[in-house]
Structure 1
């Protein structure tokens, strides 16, 4: 009888693992994969900074239906459950899922937690509940961007710099755009040369970069404008405020004993949830590595191989975390920067690699042709 591998999460980590398992097991081990997710479509949030610009991706290119990507598999091989995981019972090996207004129980032999993370302010840089809710939030932000005459982007990490760059490329000559960096430079987790390149390009695009400007509070006034209060005591008024800092793991359905104090799922060197026999966690929801697309990709590939090994009565292999830091980002539509360890990736290479924001991978992942 086929083993039922249940995966919770319909973003990159979850969908990739589902496709990898089905492809690997097709000629070796009999499995059924059940994917639980509230979103009917996979959302390519890597391109969300460009997606907030009105007129970009008008054909809904950032979303691709999950069900159609698995149409080659019969119902005894793959099942999509549209709903939100609200409970997990390790003893009975079941997941409680809220589907519309009803709840159902889904049994598993092996369970993968890949529910990712969310932004603290519910902005569409990550999934927001259902696909419809994420689409709506993105369109609402587009409308507010178009209407605003002044915009403040707070947080100067990768997302903040990418958002400011896209805004500068589109509206640098007609809107007042400010990027607030809490520290002495933008992109503090990257090389100083990356920070310098990004700052110069942002300024060229018409973005005002304010360093050592940490947001203490934001208040919406009676006229609909935002009052941004900085830790220095300075107050800035703007039509639109876009915070890009702060992520929280989507782990409310996981028993507290499996979580860190910050809510991340605790895993061991095999990506297995600490203290369990048949539950694993990958991607943003786990406490193993920082939130990064490439890290989730590595974890997905490793876990899929390990689960097949376990089903074939072979010993799993330990996951080796990458020890060399690397990062790349776009700064507007025509510039990019990045690094691998202490080596700066040449600008023309970073620009080429980030030109499409890897949107072409969305179809490859959902349909499984990438694996």
Structure 2
């Protein structure tokens, strides 16, 4: 029996595990899939900008137990290890694991025949060390607690400052402004010349227009130089890049992501900590080893679900080609694109160089794909 270890229990890891198990059943392959995750539950963080608001999304809609989603497979074929990867020994084909939620327990090691690194990323820390629950924070309970704290903070705050004009910042500003209108002052700061930097001009202009319709105070070419909280639980004093000061009841930084790659030897990482992969999604320098890296932790594509899904499909095909002693095929990158809901009536986005109309984005994303959570976690959509 071949052992496939998948490090990571989010979008990339779980979709890949289901695909391998289903393909193994079809082909009669004797294989066991071991998923390593510091979180006992899968977190549908696509909906996190709306989940930050109190009373919008119940925990059981966005947090689903991973083990429950794999109960249809025999224990001989699937195992969930709640823990965090701490080291990787490619020569011995072992992954060092700290067990328990958040990886705070005993240390052990897992042997593998095939290894897929899908540990994803986390939000960058703010200057005060605070991390936003836009992604998993250590363990499921830590993420839930942080989400509940932010819900309470949003509820009691009158002035909310969001830093960052990327998709997360724009969506978060739109959600809060739509829900509370003029009852709360929402300020969105971005250091760029516009929002959604890198998108088509018509897309960024559309986002700006929607934000202004929602009464968001948008300030371009402005960033937070430093922040401090005079008293615990009190307002944040922000010093902006132009030297001015701004007081916020709640400050929400959206500073991008950091890959969860600390367990991987640095020689396989780029300067930003992402795993460098080749055209087959194998780690560069380990082309002859059965080790792939996909999703946010990889340097191949931007951290978007549609890319993760394509990479997952490809690595499963590659794994079975390897089992059949067949040559691998290169990964083909598809069209790039983006789509985001701004408020709850419209949005904006693009596929390639084609702008998507707001009504289409709204139709596709109005529920932030929450309807897909059950079929994703139990694998029925794969």
**TM-score strictly above 0.5:** yes
1:325 Cα deviation from its structure 2 partner: 2.7
* CA–CA distance in structure 2, aligned partners of residues 361 and 24 of structure 1: 21
* CA–CA distance in structure 1, aligned partners of residues 342 and 33 of structure 2: 39
- Identify the residue that residue 121 of structure 2 maps to in structure 1: 117
Which structure 2 residue ranges, 5 or more long, are not aligned? 126-130
* CA–CA distance in structure 1, aligned partners of residues 44 and 208 of structure 2: 26
Q: Aligned residues, how many?
A: 369
* CA–CA distance in structure 1, aligned partners of residues 363 and 190 of structure 2: 26
Alignment counterpart, residue 235 of structure 1, candidates 227, 245, 270: 245
- Identify the residue that residue 321 of structure 1 maps to in structure 2: 333
Alignment counterpart, residue 246 of structure 1, candidates 248, 256, 265: 256
TM-score (norm 2): 0.94
- Identify the residue that residue 5 of structure 2 maps to in structure 1: 6
* CA–CA distance in structure 2, aligned partners of residues 352 and 189 of structure 1: 24
- Identify the residue that residue 162 of structure 1 maps to in structure 2: 171
* CA–CA distance in structure 2, aligned partners of residues 25 and 213 of structure 1: 53
- Identify the residue that residue 204 of structure 2 maps to in structure 1: 195
* CA–CA distance in structure 2, aligned partners of residues 222 and 83 of structure 1: 36
* CA–CA distance in structure 2, aligned partners of residues 222 and 18 of structure 1: 47
* CA–CA distance in structure 2, aligned partners of residues 370 and 306 of structure 1: 20
1:154 Cα deviation from its structure 2 partner: 0.5
- Identify the residue that residue 279 of structure 1 maps to in structure 2: 291
- Identify the residue that residue 140 of structure 1 maps to in structure 2: 149
**Aligned-partner SS, 1:5:** strand
What is the 5 A alignment of 1:65-104?
Answer: 65-100=65-100, 101-104=105-108
* CA–CA distance in structure 2, aligned partners of residues 368 and 35 of structure 1: 14
**Aligned-partner SS, 1:26:** helix
- Identify the residue that residue 331 of structure 1 maps to in structure 2: 342
- Identify the residue that residue 259 of structure 1 maps to in structure 2: 269
The one-character-per-residue Cα deviations of 1:127-183 (angstroms, maximum 9, x if unpaired) are: 111111111111111111111111000001100000000000111220111001211
* CA–CA distance in structure 2, aligned partners of residues 204 and 222 of structure 1: 34
The one-character-per-residue Cα deviations of 1:197-244 (angstroms, maximum 9, x if unpaired) are: 222221222211111112221221237211121211111111110001
1:104 Cα deviation from its structure 2 partner: 1.2
How well do the aligned residues superpose, as a CA RMSD in angstroms?
1.2
**Aligned-partner SS, 1:172:** helix
- Identify the residue that residue 34 of structure 2 maps to in structure 1: 34
1:59 Cα deviation from its structure 2 partner: 4.9
- Identify the residue that residue 128 of structure 2 maps to in structure 1: none
Alignment counterpart, residue 354 of structure 1, candidates 346, 361, 365: 365
Which structure 1 residue ranges, 5 or more long, are not aligned? none
1:45 Cα deviation from its structure 2 partner: 0.5
* CA–CA distance in structure 1, aligned partners of residues 338 and 372 of structure 2: 18
* CA–CA distance in structure 1, aligned partners of residues 258 and 85 of structure 2: 16
The more displaced of 109-118 and 253-262 is 253-262
* CA–CA distance in structure 2, aligned partners of residues 49 and 315 of structure 1: 43
* CA–CA distance in structure 2, aligned partners of residues 88 and 332 of structure 1: 43
* CA–CA distance in structure 1, aligned partners of residues 327 and 12 of structure 2: 23
* CA–CA distance in structure 1, aligned partners of residues 40 and 193 of structure 2: 42
Alignment counterpart, residue 107 of structure 1, candidates 107, 111, 135: 111
1:316 Cα deviation from its structure 2 partner: 1.4
